[in-house]
Structure 1
Amino acid sequence: MTQSFDIIKLTPELARQYAGMPSKPHRHNYEEIIIVAKGNPQHFIDFNKETITPPLVIYVAQGKIHQFLPDVNTEGWAIRYKNEFIPQSRFHFYSNFSDNINYTFETDNCLEKLNGLCNMMLDEFKQAQINYTMIKHLLLALLSKLEEEGKHRFRQESTSNNTQLISFNNFLKILEENFKRTEGVEFYADKMNMSVRNLNLICQSIFNKSVSEIVETRKLIEARQLLLNTDLSISEIGYELGYNEKAYFTRVFTKKTGLTPTDFRNQMSAMLS
């Protein structure tokens, strides 16, 4: 994508065109938000394929390997924007710690509001003189609505869960600064001034993963990026991520992805070429 912003309305007619010319897995140089209102499309991201049950919002961060295959009933929106167009959102932050970022709707009128914002962006984007400032404000409103929707369930619960969410986000910030080190769960618990048990409870409650699983996921997401985007050897990548032995890094990577680092690099390079 050469421009800084694009928006596409997904319709059954467009879905039938895609069915005749399905896209291949590819990497983005932009952020993408896919709003699925109807249908059961398939989505492939970072080597996992799933069938989507709407209504659902899919966030695809820049650099992720991704393929979207709509069925003939798919309706919704695809919004694409470059980092320079709008500051990185919380979606981008969370994408470093999870293989996919999907948001379901907790409130009934959310889809209606998202459709309204998307229609206004599309109308402005069709103008001969596009007001990108207006589009940016509308997109920020859409992102804010999605983030609000993601937090909605915490407001329905006790105040302690709001505190948990704050603690969880603080943990992720600490992890982002330290995930390449060889530190274990105790290191992060100490940094948070809490017990390992309490930090694990928070991570399970908010992200449905243990601390060690989140740390490992962050390392493996970085490993895949390094395998695809650099010429570093397997040993160098493992060492970069705190695995002092190539054999141990290979075992962890293979267990998580089903491929050795070398096979992953070869297969993904062939797929993207």
Structure 2
Amino acid sequence: MNVPFKITRLTGELLESAVANPPEPHRHDHEELVILTGGMPVHLVDFTSTRLEAPMIIYIAKGKVHSIHPDPNTRGWVIRYTNELIPESRFNFYSNFSDQVNFQLNPDYCASDLNALCEMMLKEYKSPKPNYEIVRHLLSAVLARIDADRKQDDQESSPAGSMYTTTFNSFLKILENNYKRPEGVDFYADKLNMGSRNLNLISQAIFGKSITEIIETRKLIEARRLLLNSDLTVANIAYELGYNENSYFTRVFRKKTGVTPTAFREKMQNIIS
């Protein structure tokens, strides 16, 4: 992407050809945020398809290979931006621990707020000389609005929601610094001065997955990144990620993705070449 920011309104006219001929999987050199306000498109990420249902926020991290197949009712906004414009966001952070980062909005979500911010970004983007500092502030406001809604949902769903979120985010930060080590749930529970059972309960409540599943997902996301962006052998990648045996790494990778690491690398190289 030769500019730091792009925004597109998803209309029936714009998506007509994509509905008839769904786009091929492709890899981004930018971050992408989709605000889905209508429809039920299919999202394909690393050979795994998921049916999405509006209203929803979809975040696609830089480097992901994906495609979105819209249906005739798909509506919303697509926002593309460089990492330099918004260096860090909660979506970017969570993308390290989940194959897809989707946030289901309540049907009565504040559409007017998000739509107004997108309209202002679109107006600035289409101006003869866009001011990307203004765009950055508006996009930051969009991300803050979404994050505020998510936190409110956490608090409404459980009185302990806010505390759970804080503990869970602390776990993710510790995991990010240790995921290459062959450590399990007990290691992370000890770091947080709590029991393994309680940590798993918090993980299930916030993320819908066990701690073991999240650890494994983080390892496999890094494995896919290395398979795509490095010349390391499968055996070297397994060692890099703390797997004692290459054969065990291959079994885990195949169970998660449906293909072996070698087949994944070959398929992805064919897609992006």
CA contact (8 A) 1:29 1:62 kept: yes
In the alignment, is the contact (CA less than 8 A) between 1:107 and 1:149 conserved in 2?
Answer: no
**Aligned counterparts of 2:109 and 2:183: Cα–Cα separation in 1:** 44
Q: Deviation of residue 87 (structure 1)?
A: 2.4
Deviates more, 1:156-165 or 1:168-177: 156-165
Residue 239 of structure 1 and its aligned partner are, at CA, apart by 0.2
Give how far 1:92 is off.
0.4
CA separation in 1, counterparts of 2:161 and 2:143? Answer: 22
1:57-91 CA-partner distances (Å, limit 9, x unpaired): 11101111110122222211000000101221000
Cα deviation digits, residues 184-227 of structure 1 (max 9, x gap): 21111111111111111110111111110000000011111111
Q: Residue 210 of structure 1 aligns to which amino acid in structure 2?
A: S
Give the 3 Å change call, closer, same or farther, for CA 153–236 of structure 1 in structure 2.
same
TM-fit CA distance, 1:8: 0.5
Deviates more, 1:103-112 or 1:73-82: 103-112
C-alpha deviation, 1:30, in angstroms: 0.6
Residues 152-191 of structure 1: pairs in structure 2 closer than 5 A: 152-191=152-191
C-alpha distance in 1 between matches for 2:182 and 2:229: 23
> How is 1:111-126 mapped onto 2 (pairs within 5 angstroms)?
111-126=111-126
The one-letter code sitting in structure 2 at the alignment partner of 1:99 is D
Residues 85-137 of structure 1 deviation map (CA, whole Å, 9 limit, x = unaligned): 12210000001000101112136242221111101110111111212111111
Give the equivalent residue in structure 2 for 1:205: 205
Query: What is the Cα deviation at residue 269 of structure 1?
Result: 1.1
The answer for unaligned runs of 5 or more in structure 1 is none
Tell me if 1:13 matches 2:7. no
Contact 2:55 2:106 in 1 (8 A): no
Q: May I ask how many residue pairs the two structures share in their alignment?
A: 273
Residue type of the alignment partner of 1:235: A
Match of 1:139 in 2: 139
Indicate conservation of the 8 Å contact 1:18/1:69, yes or no.
yes
Give me the identity figure in percent.
53
The aligned counterpart of 1:227 is: 227
The alpha carbon displacement at 1:19 in A equals 3.4
Q: Secondary structure at the match of 2:160?
A: helix
Q: TM-score, normalised by structure 2?
A: 0.96
Task: Measure, in 1, the Cα distance between the counterparts of 2:246 and 2:225.
Answer: 17
Give the whole-Å Cα distance in 2 for the aligned partners of 1:192 and 1:75. Answer: 42
Contact 1:15–1:73 (8 Å) recurs in 2: no
**How many Å apart are 1:20 and its aligned residue?**
5.1
The answer to whether the aligner puts 1:39 opposite 2:32 as a matched pair is: no
Give the equivalent residue in structure 1 for 2:269: 269
Kept after mapping to 2: 8 A contact 1:181/1:242: yes
Query: 98-107 vs 170-179, which deviates more?
Result: 98-107
| Contact kept in structure 2, 1:7 and 1:80, CA below 8 Å | yes
Q: Which amino acid aligns with 1:164?
A: Y
- What's the secondary structure of 2:86's corresponding residue? coil
CA offset digits 1:239-270 (Å, max 9, x no partner)? 00000111111111111111111111111111
Q: 2:119 & 2:158 partners in 1: Cα distance?
A: 36
Say if 2:55 and 2:107, in contact at 8 Å, map to a contact too.
Answer: no
CA–CA separation in structure 2 for the residues paired with 1:5 and 1:21: 26
**Which runs of structure 1 show a deviation greater than 3 angstroms over 4 or more consecutive aligned residues?**
19-22
